[in-house]
Amino acid sequence: MSHSSKIKEISNVQEFKKFYLQDSYYSTCTECNQLEYAQGNGFLEIVALEDLQKLHNRHIGLQTRRKFYSIILLSAGEVVEVIGHQKYSFGAQTMYFISENQIHSITSWSDNLKGTLCMFDADYFLLCIKHQITLNQFPFFQLDKIPYLSLSDREAQMMQHLFWKLQAERCQKKTFNDDLLVRMFLNIILLEAERIYQHKVTGESFNLSRKEQLVAQFQLLVNQHFLEMKQVNAYAGILHVHPHYLNDVVKEVSGFPASYFIQKQLMQEAKSRLIQTNSTVSMIAAELNFTDDSYFGRFFKKLTGFTPLQYRRAHQHQK
């Protein structure tokens, strides 16, 4: 059996509960008003680490690839986890991050564990505020950057309060507009983490294999050039490698072909403009450098199941 075949793919909260928890019907907040989101509108889930430990199925050492983002605030205890291909030991007052599609495994958790796990996908974050940066621009979600922060007493208290507010607002929401406040607190947590990160971590060395370095460079180029460069061979030319080799390495490291990341970036940008602006579909197609509206419409529906207008009507904030 190949190494990659042992990796468990986890796409959403339901699969997370089924895989990790003895009780797959466990609710992280019995008081929450559970809004039923339209397909594709994203999810956010918050779990206390001490609760997670009680119900944990003890999949120690088993590799997973979560198709969503995770933020962990560790308040007490110790954990040893593998993020990507690096093993980390984290103690109290640590905040660490697991990016979308990143390989992850738990090596050990101490018995006195306390803290918070927040899971969310790109679509949920997309609806926070207009013209915000994308998730892959946060340094701690980038493959070639250190994925953790050591917090001071003041910083740890601030983050604990922000996570408490995030959970409190999530429990109190009753309408989709109420949920905007939850999304804004998620955005505040990420922005505050980035501010601390830039102050503390910038300049620290981080060792990657040559293949991981290539994938990190490719992802950075996609973030910068996805509007004008939509073919893998264009990125391979800049990186001075054969397109087939680039595709093979990206798939080996991330689990997805290189074209997936180009399409994903285009799709997130298209969704963002449909939801956050009043631009017509024709204007958005032109801004994304599609040759015509019909091609953009086919591309969008193939990846989402919706036409652009259907997606806008289903997901735009209620006024």
Strand order in 44-48's β-sheet?
Answer: 44-48, 114-120, 69-76, 94-98, 148-150
The answer as to whether 205 is a domain residue is no
Residues 144 and 287 in one domain: no
Domain of residue 222 covers 210-315
Is residue 3 very low, low, confident or very high in pLDDT (cuts 50, 70, 90)?
very low
Residues 168 and 46 in one domain: yes
Pick the closest to residue 120 from 64, 46, 224 (CA basis).
46
Residues 266 and 165 in one domain: no
The answer as to whether 164 is a domain residue is yes
Residues 147 and 233 in one domain: no
Instruction: Name the domain boundary from 169, 200, 231.
Output: 200
Is residue 67 very low, low, confident or very high in pLDDT (cuts 50, 70, 90)?
confident
Residues 129 and 267 in one domain: no
Residues 119 and 229 in one domain: no
The answer as to whether 254 is a domain residue is yes
The answer as to whether 102 is a domain residue is yes
Higher pLDDT, 125 or 190: 190
* Domains of the chain: total: 2
Residues 142 and 237 in one domain: no
CATH of residue 284? 1.10.10.60
Rounded Cα distance, 98 and 96, in Å: 7
Residues 84 and 111 in one domain: yes
Residues 170 and 286 in one domain: no
> pTM of the prediction?
0.75
Residues 22 and 164 in one domain: yes
The answer as to whether 138 is a domain residue is yes
CA dihedral (198, 127, 103, 240) positive or negative: negative
Rounded Cα distance, 167 and 185, in Å: 9
Residues 237 and 306 in one domain: yes
The answer as to whether 122 is a domain residue is yes
Higher pLDDT, 123 or 1: 123
CATH of residue 139? 2.60.120.280
Rounded Cα distance, 46 and 165, in Å: 11
**With 60 as the cut, is the pLDDT of residue 224 above it?**
yes
Instruction: Name the domain boundary from 135, 167, 200.
Output: 200
The answer as to whether 13 is a domain residue is yes
Residue-level pLDDT at 14: 80
Residue-level pLDDT at 316: 63
Residues 272 and 195 in one domain: no
